[in-house]
Amino acid sequence: MKLILFVWLVLSAVSELTSADNFEVWGSWYGGFLGQVCFIAPPHLKGWRLLVRFRNDVEGITTWNSLLERKVDNRNFILRNNFFNGTPQPGTKICCVIEGRTKNSIKPEAVVFLSDTAITATTTSRRPPTRRRPTTTRRPTRTKRPTTVKPAPMPPASSGNTPNYAEVLGKSILFYEAQRSGVLPKDNRVKWRGDSAVHDQGLRGEDLSGGWYDAADYVKFNLPMASATTMLLWGLYTFKDAYTLTNELDNMYKSVKWPLDYFLKCWNPKTQEYYYQVGSGKLDHNYWGRPEDMHMRRPAMKVDRHTPGSDVAGETATSLALGSIVFRQKDRAYSDKLLLAAKSLYKFAKEVPGKYPLKDYYDSSGYKDELCTAAIWLYRATKDSNYLKDADLYYTDELAWAQDWDDKIIACQMLMYEEKRTRRHAQVVKDFFTSWRPGGDVPYTPGGLAYRNKWGSLRYDANTAFLALIAAEDGLMVDDNRKWAAGQINYMLGKNKENFSYVIGYTNNYPLHPHHASSSCPNPPATCDWDVFDSTKPNTHILYGALVGGPNTHDHYIDKRDEYEYSEVTCDYNAGFQSAIAGLIKLQHDNKLPPIVG
């Protein structure tokens, strides 16, 4: 009865925007869809609510540029304005992105009603809420290319001189040093960074200092952090020669050891507790300033025998197992320590199955893919065939959507192919890369960039480029995979129609206003606050090596801090990218780099 009354109150002052087609569908698949609804702000608008009424049952939705106020039932959802957006001017176009979760495949249709009910803000925050769209979509079959992006021919490996991959590799490592939390080492190379969050601790006072800050903010999210660490370690494992050739091997060992040390702190095998996050997203995103000056509360969150977290524990076990292999020749004692932690953490993830409870930022879609990759790397580290048997249980032939912090299906499939070398596994891997080629499932920009998703578009491309280079090493679609990977990475490095590098500090034409708090701050004792965020001046410090989110579907990039869809940087974005760069350096040294065209 209360829900019915609430809907009636919302509708008491509403108007229907248009008919069912006011909800624009960007894409749909088995288990979900993505789209947006827009409206023009009427005069005297103080705040607003939208009642989104679907024609079919929808299990749940995630929204951007709005807040989900209430799920009335499986067909009615109420959204409201974000406080940080302020009061929109009359005539302003307001758009809300909606991702829906369904039990099967539906063609989403919805009628949307607008209420100009005033909503009073309870916070002074002006910060965009975060972040990138969670990629929780697992697509068992290919979907049609959206009609909003026209297909384009594959770009050449380069349209001019070959990029300086060695310079990019070194600068990418430097970016991760800028993301360090805790007590910085004596050889700290990022001089505008200092010790920060040194008192991060668990619920019983456990030392949880260290690790990487996630993005522009200062929360430590272990699922994307572990995923990034895995991708970096995988690149070091496969293309170690690239780091040796560029004299970056020692810097790389130091780089990946930083999060590995932190993961060891987060896992207590005796109490069977694993801390997966430090910091509050809501508190953190109200703050724009230096990490060294933080004073907000930084709560820690954990999973245990009563609260499962097979996804985040499984991914962390993956990075620990892979880390043990990478460090085996360099530091045997440390390698053994990592392996011991990986085995016990994997055992915990396997025995207490389920997704971890984080929902607001990095909501996980499942955990079998993480357990699959963890099992295979543990098999490689131990030669215990029981791990490979486990991986078989978690394996699927499903066509992967992408590789990212949440989705490791293609990683599982590629690793399984490397272990078994069967036609079945080879075909599954080939199908994935074919789906990313022009004419497949992934749309392309006019300039030739594969465009999987608007949130961190370059991240998906870079991850796939890295995997394509590995597949070529495995003998799968060798020439095509190498040419495609080089072309996509070169686009990011400035081989595009704008001659614009999406890597900060590389070439003379790169983003100057990245959505990144610490690099935007002036040197102390000058104040750093939301006035700095709003400033049109370039960031004070150059965040060398950071890969920004990327352009839109028309190859257009907006270099503004508040356009974080384009300008944000994250540890996740750089990981596959850096490993792809390492692969291209190895090809260049071996005279196997695809020929330059144009």
Q: Kindly list the catalytic residues.
A: 559, 568
Q: How open is the CA angle 417-419-420, to the nearest 5 degrees?
A: 65
For the CA atoms of 519, 524, 530, 531, the dihedral, rounded to the nearest 10 degrees, stands at: -110
**Beta 76-80 vs 67-71: how paired, if at all?**
antiparallel
What distance in Å separates the CA atoms of residue 255 and residue 161, rounded to the nearest whole number? Answer: 30
SS3 for 464-512, per residue?
Answer: HHHHHHHHHHCCCCHHHHHHHHHHHHHHHCCCCCCCCCCECCCCCCCCC
What's the token pair of residue 448?
């030739």
What's the token pair of residue 3?
């829900």
SS3 44: coil
What's the token pair of residue 422?
């069967």
User: Of 215, 138, 110, 43, nearest to 575 (Cα)?
Assistant: 215
Q: Any idea which residue has 């929204």 for tokens?
A: 63
Based on its alpha-carbon atoms, the radius of gyration of the chain, rounded to whole angstroms, reads: 23
What distance in Å separates the CA atoms of residue 369 and residue 349, rounded to the nearest whole number? Answer: 12
Which H/E stretch holds residue 257?
helix 249-266
What is the phi/psi pair of residue 69, to 5°? Answer: -80, -40
Beta bridge partners of 97: 36, 64
Contact by Cβ (8 Å): 484, 444? no
What distance in Å separates the CA atoms of residue 71 and residue 53, rounded to the nearest whole number? Answer: 11
Q: How open is the CA angle 189-194-200, to the nearest 5 degrees?
A: 125
> Residue type at 145?
R
Residue length, the chain? 598
16-23: long-range contacts, CB 8 A cutoff, minimum separation 24 = 16/111, 16/112, 16/113, 16/114, 17/111, 17/112, 17/113, 17/114, 19/111, 20/55, 20/109, 20/110, 20/111, 21/109, 22/110, 22/111, 22/112, 23/52, 23/98, 23/108, 23/109, 23/110, 23/111, 23/112
